[in-house]
Amino acid sequence: MAAMNPQTELRVRTLSIHVVTWNVASAAPPPDLSDLLQLNNLNLNLDVYVIGLQEMNCGIMSLLSDTAFEDPWSSFFMDVLSPLSFVKGNKGGVNIFLKFYGYYVSIINCHLPPHMANNDQRLEHFDRILEMQNFEAQDIPNILDHDLVLWFGDMNFRIEDFGLHFVRESIKNQCYSDLWEKDQLSIAKRHDPLLREFQEGPLLFPPTYKFDKNSNNYDTSEKKRKPAWTDRILWRLKRQPQATIHTPTLSAPHFTLFLRSYVSHMLYSISDHKPVTSTFDLELKPLVSAPLITLLPESLCTEESDLLISYSLTADFLSSPWDWIGLYKVGLRHINDYVSYVWVRDNQVSFSDGLNQVYIDISDIPETEDQFLLFYYSNNLHSVVGISKPFKIQPRSFLAEGPLDEAQPQI
Q: Beta strand 391-392 with 293-303: parallel, antiparallel or unpaired? A: unpaired
CA count, 13 A, side-chain hemisphere, 204: 7
Are 145 and 204 found together in one domain?
Answer: yes
pLDDT digits (tens, 9 = 90+) for 184-212: 999 999 999 999 999 999 999 999 999 99
346: containing domain: 293-406
Cα(234)–Cα(248) distance, integer angstroms = 31
Cα(111)–Cα(54) distance, integer angstroms = 7
> Among 232, 267, 284, which residue terminates a domain?
284
Task: Using alpha carbons, list the distances in angstroms from residue 361 to 280, 305, 308.
Answer: 44, 6, 9
Count structural domains, the chain.
2
Assigned domain for 3 exists: no
pLDDT digits (tens, 9 = 90+) for 46-67: 999 999 999 887 555 454 555 4
Are 61 and 128 found together in one domain?
Answer: yes
Are 256 and 274 found together in one domain?
Answer: yes
Assigned domain for 258 exists: yes
Are 313 and 394 found together in one domain?
Answer: yes
Assigned domain for 130 exists: yes
pLDDT at 380: 87
Assigned domain for 177 exists: yes
Query: Strand (E) positions, 203-315?
Result: 231-237, 255-264, 276-284, 293-303, 306-313
pLDDT at 244: 46
Cα(142)–Cα(144) distance, integer angstroms = 5
- Whole-prediction pTM value? 0.83
pLDDT at 209: 98
**Regions of the chain short of the pLDDT cut 70:** 1-10, 58-70, 90-93, 135-138, 240-253, 298-305, 354, 394-411
